[in-house]
Structure 1
C-alpha cells in the first residue's frame, strides 16, 4: 500500500531553484499551486508579504465540469469538486492535476505531496477513516497542519503581534503620561510644591535623574508626578543645571520649592547651589546654635509674649510633676528643666538626627 511519507523540508541544494531578482511583484503572483515556486525560493525580505497575499487570495479551488482521469487504466479516478466543501484548505492545480495544502505550503517544516509536487492518489481519499485528507489534518490540535493554519491566522492578525501591541501601548502610554503630566503641572501654577530627586540609570545604562514633583491640587489632594531627565554625567554642576532646566521647562518657579529630598552625594552638592536650597542648608547651622545657646533669649521672648496677652506664666523654679510617671518616684525635676531639656532640646536633637541621616555632608 502506498503511504504518504513526510521528510525534512530541506531539499538538496542542487534542487533548489534560486531566483536572482531582488523583489517580486505581488500583483502578478501565480495562483496555480502547481506552477508557483516554493516559498523558500522567494526573497527572504518578501516571504511574509507573499504569504499574506496568497492567504488573502484564499485557496486556489479551480472548478471544472469534469476533472482529468488518472491512476490505473483498469480503474481510473478523478478529483471531485465537492471535496472543496469538506476540506477548505485544499488547492487544486489544473496544471499538474493534483491538490496542495495552502497553509502547509507556507509554514510546514516537513516536505510532503501536499507541499511539493502535489497529491493525486484519489483512491486514498474515499478510504473511510484512513482518508488521506483526514490523515493530513490529524485530530491533534498540535498536528503540523493545524499549527500551520494557526500560523496563517497569526500572520494576518498582525495587529495582535506582541511587538506591535507593546509598541502601540507604549506610544499611547507615553502620550497619555505626557498629557497627564502637562495637565498636572498646569494646575500647580504659582503654588508651592516639593521636590524629590534621585540618581538612577535606565536599561540602556544612561545616567538620569528621577525628579518627582509633589503638590496639592485644587481639590486638596496630594499629587506626585515624575519627570525623568537624562544627564551626560552626575557631577553637581550638571545635576544642578538639569534640575533647574526641567523645572523651567514645565514653568515651575524654583522660588516656590518648599521642601526637598535628595539621594546621592552629587545631588546634595547640587542642591546646595540652588538659592532656596542653599538657604535651607544654612539654616541647619542655626538649629545647632539655637540648641546650644538660645534658650535664655527664647524664654525671654515667650515671657514677653505671655505678659502682653495676659497668659499665666508657670513658676520655672517649681517642681515638675508628671502624671504619667509612677507616683512612687519623687519630683526632682523643676519646670524649667522639663521645658528646656525634655521638650526644647529633645525636639532639636530629633531634628538634627533626622537631618544628619538624610544629609551626610
Structure 2
C-alpha cells in the first residue's frame, strides 16, 4: 500500500549553516545557484515556501576593499572617501601595486587642428604618472595617495589631465605640477617615500634613537657605578674643593671617571663633557643614590650571612662635622661555618639621643631586614645613662621585648676610658704622646 501522507521534512546538514550567501547580481545567481534558476516552461512555477523562523540568519561577509581596489585612476574613488581607519591600509595596498602605467596603443584626441595622444615615454620621465584607459586622462599617483577633500587642486587626482598639447618644452604641465620643494607634489612624494620605506618612519627613527640613548646612558651609568664602588671600598672622599672644568683636580669621583675614559674610547664618548647636561651622573645626589643602592646590596648579603642564627648588636652615636647625631649599628653573630663575625651594618641619622628614639630607629632598621628582636642575644653600648639605664635606658627597653638580650659594657669603650684616664693621670706620658703626635 502506497504512503499518501506528507513527506517528512529533510534535515539540513551542518555544512549548510556555514555556506556563504552570494550577493552578486541576479543573473550570476541564476547560474551559480540552482535553487533560484529561471522557471521551466514545462512545469508551472510553484509558490515559494515561507521562511523558517527557526533558521539562523546567514552571515554575509562585507566586501574587502583592499583586495578589490580599482586600478584605473579614472574609475577609482578617492582615499579620503573611505572610512578614516582604512586610509593607511588602502594606501599601503596601492603602494604595493604601484602606479597604473599600461603599455598599449593610446587613442588619438583632437586638439584644435591637430590630433595628439598620450606617449608611453612619459612614464620613464615621470615615474609618478598614471594613465586611465577608461577616460584617456593622466593622473598623479602620490597626489592621489595623500589627497584631501579640502585640496585646492584636483587636476591630477579627481579631474584628470588630457591636454596633451601642453606637454612640450616651453609649456610642460608635468613640470609645473612637480613645482618647487614645498609644492603639494613634493610633499606627497615625501609621504610616499616614508610610507613605503618603514625604516624611515618617525617611530622607527625614534626607536633607533631611543635604543642608542639607552646604550649611552647604560655606559655612562656603569662608569659612575664603578667609580662609586672603588671609592667606597677604599673609603676615599668623593668630591673635591674645586670641581670646575678648569680645575686641575676635580675630586676623586670625576678623576676616576677620567681615568676610565682614557682607557676606553666608548666611555670617553659618553661621559663628562660629552654627556648631556641633564644626564652626566656626577651630581652629589646621584652619588648618594648609588651609594645607597650599593649599601642595600651589602646589607642584603650580611642578612643572608646571619640567616636564622642569633645575633648581638653594638651601637654607638657621635656628632659629625655638620653637628648631626649619627648612630652606627654593628651586628655580631656566628656564621654557618661557626666563625664569629662582626659586620658594620648601617649608620642612621637621629634627631636626638634619647633612649626611646634610639630604640625606635634600631628596631626600624632590624625590621626592615627581617631581623627579629626576639633573636637578639646581646647588647653592647657605652656607659652613658641613656644607654645602660636600669629603668629607661636603651638596654631596658630591649630587655622588655627580649629578656635574653643581655647588656655588656662595650670593651672598646672600656679601653677608650682606660686610655683617657691613664693619659690624664701621667702628665709626662701625656706631654710626650702629644709631642710625638705633633711630629
TM-score by length of 2: 0.41
Flag the structure with larger Rg.
2
Higher RCO, 1 or 2 (CA under 8 Å, sep at least 6)?
1
TM-score by length of 1: 0.49
